[in-house]
Amino acid sequence: MQLLNLPRGDIARAILSLFREARELSAEEVHIRVKRGFFDCSQRAIYKELGILCDKGILIKAKGCYSASITWLLTLLEFGNTLYKTALQRPPRHIELPSPGKKLRFKFRDLELLDRLWLQFIFLLFERSKSRLMFAWVPYFWFDLVHYHKDLEAQEAMHIAGNKMYLIVGSRTYLDQLPTKYWSKRAYTWSYSLSPFESERSSYYDLIDDYVLTVTIDEATTRRIHAFFHSIRGAHDLKRLPEFAAIKSNARATLAIENTPAKARKLRRKFSQFFGIKEVRDFC
């Protein structure tokens, strides 16, 4: 990765993301937009990071304004395209998709490790999918708490790839609603309403075509997640987020992926009826 001089750190990531929509920005404009769209930071920190990005050849400074380096972008694009093709054409053995009627099963003691593999399977399935459509049931939206940047990347990837997710969130706590502020409505449709899955608080379902991903978390961890989420009532409680580390690293969870058309049709019907999608067959 050093070949590409990829930036490290929250501020650098935030700065670079601004240039997806802006052709050029002054340091003051960068500071304002980072504070408005990401997090509070000092102007001094912005100037320091801009200098580092320029030294690495990632940004170019001219007449007091900064812009993305074309040569760095071309190198990054070529590297990304090659890596992407390799990952899809020859996925690692541990994430090969099951054949019809078969199931793969993985066990975890850490929710962060679980979420990493979970995301891999989801996007591999999206790339193999004709519909590029996913239905999901999520009792608690804890993913951002275990690795915030990975889930930000996943949200951006959803938008870039033209994927669509219909998501039912089983709780309406402050933490469950927080991630939706950054979601693209073109990629996500979500609901907090009561659903057919309401009693399944320890199970998480993802459905893409005939593949069903099921994550099951042990009851004790589920109760701890429930209690933690209901204890965070607003921004003033976010300083307690590090406490979640003790929950995520002491869990017992399984990830199962199966290629079962009959089960997929049954789940798809439930999701479609919930979201008012009449032509279920359109997504098969």
For the chain, give every domain's residue range: 2-75, 93-283
Contacts of 165 (CB under 8 A, 6+ apart): 133, 134, 135, 136, 158, 187, 188, 189
How many CB atoms sit inside 10 A of residue 132's CB? 18
Contacts of 45 (CB under 8 A, 6+ apart): 11
Question: Lowest-confidence range among 25-34, 69-78, 158-167, 272-281?
Answer: 272-281
The beta strand positions in 83-240, using DSSP E, are 103-108, 133-138, 164-169, 188-191, 203-208, 211-217
User: How many helical (H) and strand (E) elements, i.e. helices and strands, does the chain have?
Assistant: 11, 10
Q: Among 93, 254, 236, 105, which Cα is nearest to 174's? A: 236
The pLDDT score that the predictor gives to residue 80 is 76
Which fold, 2-75?
Arc Repressor Mutant, subunit A (1.10.10)
In percent, the amount of the chain with pLDDT more than 90 equals 57
Give the span between the Cα atoms of 273 and 53, in whole angstroms: 49
**Highest mean pLDDT of the ranges 87-91, 92-96, 221-225:** 221-225
3-28 per-position pLDDT tens digit:
344 454 578 888 988 888 889 999 99
8 A C-beta contact, residue 145 and residue 248: yes
Give the span between the Cα atoms of 22 and 102, in whole angstroms: 47
Contacts of 231 (CB under 8 A, 6+ apart): 237, 240
Give the span between the Cα atoms of 247 and 208, in whole angstroms: 29
pLDDT band at 1 (very low <50, low <70, confident <90, very high): very low
155-168 per-position pLDDT tens digit:
777 877 789 999 99
Q: What is the mean pLDDT of the chain?
A: 87
Q: For tokens 């004709």, name the residue.
A: 130
pTM beyond cutoff 0.85: no
Which fold, 93-283?
Endonuclease; Chain A (3.30.870)
25-62 per-position pLDDT tens digit:
999 999 999 888 777 889 999 999 999 999 999 999 99
